[in-house]
Structure 1
């Protein structure tokens, strides 16, 4: 049952202010009933039998709406209210970044230039130094810790990971995904090191430092860190995922890892934070630092700043971040040119889509969107497209991409041999010898271009005899485990401990997919298999040497 009462007298507004916002702009001269709008957006969760979400809206420094939908605890029957405490997911990163910036303003660290090894010497020395800014902008090249522990046989949720577990696996990595500053490659490992940096430089726990320097000064009285997942938190929503049978199952983050995420908070506290950053209440220098976008080694500026995406939505400037941990899913966005319109959504269900909910609210609350330029497109020549069909291999991650003989629905042809895709990426193909497919270049909306090499005309279908060549033991010292590869029936399977069996699905010659990862095998000049490689979006080429 919805509950939108606000207990804090400082946040109470008159009924008219809560229920409606009147815009004076001629193009949008209308009354927006915020409660009715929110009821429509969150209708899926307006139930006493489902988890749900809390939503908060503020503009011009005034809270316009705080409201809850669904249940905070399905076992006890506690509803979600504006005071319900949720977990933030990666929206927490901007707070971790703010803590580092505060130390920089204190003169304790040079945010731009200093290598992180100056303060965390346990980190290996790589070809080029990783700076603190690299950590905060996902340009360090560090591998994702949660992917590494998953390949140790213990994915998040299967074991209670502690901060030392995270640091141990990060410190063992002898290689990076890429040179620092070369690419944007999202990784929680960098923010775990940033949290450690704060503790070492301040001499206080991360909990204490952020409480004294951020939460208390701003009046964020309902915010803390889940640095001990065993600690009781009154008013916290339990997190859920669909059970596959029309019901729900608990999906809580049983780990004491913070910095990349792990913030416990409310929509009201997020509204306070958004306005404080906008007004520069912790210092204009901090606000400017958080909003400064990163520039890569090649000079290209990316959308990611310090714990924030600084971009636009439908042509309107937007500063935002999403979050997802276990069953919690969140999104916080503000629109500085719209009276710092802020929309905060916190959900306790993994199947929620909080970014979608925020944008649906923004579609009605933003006064005027600029006209979007129309693309010069035509229908795709299907005969020409069919020439490109096949399996392509990502040059960075070896991930396969299947191009079917029929173009994707809604895709269009652009001038110059490019194709527009519904996700706003642009594709172009290059043909090689005898007119055969050779290269696919995908220009991403963020300005990055990813190259795929043609690998095979169709999905690989190896025989049992061909699969037998991969049988053996493969060891990685970087994560400290050995995998056994065995043919089971007509499938190649990997095992790392009892009860963990990964069945590999063939993709292109010598390459397989499993659990969102690509596994491929290397051979020596004689054709003998010598190594197993693992890649995914956040781990590029983790090598397992064949030991038997």
Structure 2
């Protein structure tokens, strides 16, 4: 279960338990400052112990055009960290008996041929073993300029996924699938009778106290000074604001694109661990590794073993479990790590797409 969500421990001083290398002025703090000084990181980082931040740092600009700096309460595009919310939503409905992990896709959604609808299971969608979907990184853009409303984007994506053949026999391989998680969001909406967005707001963001988290449309992102603009790396020249691209999506979805703050993600880990969002059994179920991930995943991060659970990555680092998820896209690089046996959390949110693996790796090595 997630570390920060555990009930409060004894209120004795925690200073002895916090490694000096994690404290302000320590090795991690100095390394992070150096990365930012070299323009390799722009964003916010927080390290927490027993639910309380022990180090919080902000670097770079949320909006370079207006010289607006990133702040502790700046909202960032979470990219694939969003999948953790979708997994919790599915598990909540499963806990209520409205979704079964063994059930077939066709039980909940229509429009698929029998070899898909009557074969692929909810479990396989959650573990990226369904065979459904376009490559996570490829030449085909995941969105289109003409999808300029929430409904157009939702309908267009759903139609595109239904036109795809299976990439492999369900259950025989692991292959990361954004499209698979989009379908999980469709299932949440169908079963709950609410839009996916409203369901997550009402059943995850609100009860968890995530007051600064939401799914924002492209006009909202470009108008709100509290939202960090995504600066995408170019083959030559400076980084550019990705919101100006035709391929910046009108709104995020179940697979990527929620916006949140470091404080809200800490609140999320607490709510997941203390029974606010899920009972202990279901919280443990979704955060426990089920499918071995290939060595090519999470490059730059050392670990003894790497597994995918239900919307959460479960790694073993220095003999310790590290549970969470990463998220990367044009102008976004994020990582959420929880350390159950250390009762610690590391949150890195960035609006550059420069890899943040060196930062996450140092935090992992020191904490474990």
TM-score bracket relative to the smaller structure: 0.7 to 0.9
Cα shift at 1:31: 6.7
Q: Flag the structure with higher helix content.
A: 2
Task: Indicate which of 147, 162, 174 corresponds to 1:171.
Answer: 162
* Residues 342-353 of structure 1: pairs in structure 2 closer than 5 A: 342-351=345-354, 353=355
Task: Assess, with a 3 A threshold, how the Cα gap between structure 1 residues 76 and 32 changes in structure 2: closer, same or farther.
Answer: same
Query: Using the alignment, how far apart are the partners of 2:176 and 2:254 within structure 1?
Result: 14
241-250 vs 279-288, which deviates more? Answer: 241-250
Task: Assess, with a 3 A threshold, how the Cα gap between structure 1 residues 244 and 31 changes in structure 2: closer, same or farther.
Answer: closer
Structure 2 residue matching 1:126: 3-state secondary structure: helix
* Residues 413-424 of structure 1: pairs in structure 2 closer than 5 A: none
Q: Under a length normalisation based on structure 1, what TM-score does the superposition of the two structures give?
A: 0.56
Q: Is the 8 A contact 1:73 1:238 kept in 2?
A: yes
**Unaligned regions of 5+ residues in structure 2, if any?**
1-12, 148-152, 293-304
Query: Using the alignment, how far apart are the partners of 1:287 and 1:160 within structure 2?
Result: 39
Structure 1 residue matching 2:115: 3-state secondary structure: coil
Cα shift at 1:208: 1.4
Cα shift at 1:306: 0.6
What is the match of residue 188 of structure 1?
178
The structure that has the greater radius of gyration is: 1
What is the match of residue 159 of structure 1?
145
Q: Is the 8 A contact 1:137 1:305 kept in 2?
A: yes
Task: Indicate which of 253, 257, 266 corresponds to 2:261.
Answer: 266
Query: Using the alignment, how far apart are the partners of 1:42 and 1:207 within structure 2?
Result: 36
Instruction: Check if 1:203 corresponds to 2:193.
Output: yes
Q: Is the 8 A contact 1:50 1:74 kept in 2?
A: no
Task: Assess, with a 3 A threshold, how the Cα gap between structure 1 residues 35 and 272 changes in structure 2: closer, same or farther.
Answer: farther
Task: Assess, with a 3 A threshold, how the Cα gap between structure 1 residues 294 and 160 changes in structure 2: closer, same or farther.
Answer: farther
Q: Output the aligned Cα RMSD.
A: 2.6
Q: Is the 8 A contact 2:47 2:346 kept in 1?
A: yes
What is the match of residue 58 of structure 1?
48
Query: Using the alignment, how far apart are the partners of 2:170 and 2:176 within structure 1?
Result: 12
Q: Under a length normalisation based on structure 2, what TM-score does the superposition of the two structures give?
A: 0.82
Task: Count residues with an aligned counterpart.
Answer: 330
Q: Which runs of 4+ in 1 moved over 6 A?
A: 145-148
Q: Is the 8 A contact 1:22 1:31 kept in 2?
A: no
Query: Using the alignment, how far apart are the partners of 1:189 and 1:51 within structure 2?
Result: 29
What is the match of residue 142 of structure 1?
132
Higher relative contact order (CA 8 A, sep 6+): 2
**Unaligned regions of 5+ residues in structure 1, if any?**
1-16, 367-548
Cα shift at 1:166: 1.4
Instruction: Check if 1:357 corresponds to 2:359.
Output: yes
Query: Using the alignment, how far apart are the partners of 2:88 and 2:159 within structure 1?
Result: 25
Q: Is the 8 A contact 2:44 2:72 kept in 1?
A: yes
Structure 2 residue matching 1:285: 3-state secondary structure: helix
Q: Is the 8 A contact 1:89 1:262 kept in 2?
A: yes
191-200 vs 319-328, which deviates more? Answer: 319-328
Instruction: Check if 1:241 corresponds to 2:227.
Output: no
* Residues 40-51 of structure 1: pairs in structure 2 closer than 5 A: 40-46=31-37
Instruction: Check if 1:126 corresponds to 2:128.
Output: no
Task: Assess, with a 3 A threshold, how the Cα gap between structure 1 residues 272 and 35 changes in structure 2: closer, same or farther.
Answer: farther
Cα shift at 1:133: 1.2
Q: Is the 8 A contact 1:140 1:180 kept in 2?
A: yes
Query: Using the alignment, how far apart are the partners of 2:214 and 2:66 within structure 1?
Result: 24
What is the match of residue 281 of structure 1?
276
Cα shift at 1:157: 7.0
Q: Flag the structure with higher strand content.
A: 1
Q: Is the 8 A contact 1:52 1:69 kept in 2?
A: yes
